[in-house]
Amino acid sequence: MNRTPRFSFTLIELLVVIAIIAILAALLLPALSNAKESGRRANCLSNLRQLQIAWQGYADDNEGQLPLNRTIGASARTWCEGNLQVDNTIHGLTNGLLYSYVNSVGVYVCPSDRTAQIGGGVLKPRSYSCNDWLNGDPSGKWAELYSQLVNPPPSDVFVFLDENEQCIDNAYLGVSPPGNWSWYNLPASRHSRGCVLSFADGHIAYWRWRGNSVLRFIRYYQPAPVGDPDLKRVQAAIPIVP
């Protein structure tokens, strides 16, 4: 009686196959991770586009008046209320001036931001902040009207951006004036060492940071090297109002 010979892998052959699979996985995982991040970045760009349209819509409906960034003295409403360091509810969004224009809470959260409120376990309801120099800077030299966005022009003035997940608190991102080498608040770097921003003319952009001072939050008003290229870039995108 003839029997068909049976073939099987030797231990060495199995180890070789496993090694090949491990090498292929190591090669494919970074590409897969980059693809996922590209998708999240595209979603973030879409979120900021919607917020930018809302910001512009508010200005158009109010004779060019920009929505407030912070309440000073009075109880006037701002574009978004609350301090994320102590409040993890969505009331700050629903009470904000722009919620009637963008009433989907998911739009206010960057898909790459998975951080919880400090001291708690609930995800933050917001990842974005507004340029403090747009109706919010305490020096009194902020732009209150869209028509004041002349130097630089609207295409070069940032409105919203990703804020660092550890320092985000109120509705605005403070930016030190040109020549002051300090990060008041820190932009985010979660998109492959970069950040998504919207601009007053309506366009949205991705900035990849060039240095390292913006990559790690240490404290509010943390120093930056003199001439830091990333801080200079952000400072160049604030309005100068006489």
pLDDT for 36 = 75
φ, ψ of residue 108 to 5 degrees: the values are: -85, 0
| 188: amino acid identity, one letter | A
pLDDT for 62 = 96
- Work out whether strand 204-208 and strand 194-199 pair parallel, antiparallel, or are unpaired: antiparallel
Task: Give the count of alpha carbons within 13 A of 211, CB side only.
Answer: 14
pLDDT for 56 = 97
Residue 57 to residue 101: CA distance in whole angstroms? 8
pLDDT single digits (tens) 202-225 = 999 999 999 999 999 999 999 999
In the block, tokens 């190591």 appear at 26
Residue 178 to residue 182: CA distance in whole angstroms? 10
Give the domain ranges of the chain. Answer: 37-235
Confidence of residue 142 (pLDDT cuts 50, 70, 90): confident
Using alpha carbons, select from 207, 217, 158 the residue that is nearest to residue 185. 217
The pTM is what?
Answer: 0.84
pLDDT single digits (tens) 149-208 = 999 999 999 999 999 999 999 999 999 999 999 999 999 999 999 999 999 999 999 999
- Phi-psi group of 73: left, alpha or beta (phi > 0 → left; psi -120 to 50 → alpha; rest → beta): left
pLDDT single digits (tens) 36-92 = 777 888 999 999 999 999 999 999 999 999 999 887 655 678 999 888 888 888 999
Q: pLDDT at residue 33 above 80?
A: no
pLDDT for 4 = 53
Q: Which of 95-109, 127-141, 221-235 is the least confident region?
A: 127-141
Using alpha carbons, select from 132, 7, 165 the residue that is nearest to residue 66. 132
pLDDT for 242 = 80
Q: pLDDT at residue 5 above 60?
A: no
Q: pLDDT at residue 20 above 90?
A: no
Which is it for the CA torsion 194, 37, 39, 174, positive or negative? negative
Structure tokens at 151: 């130097």
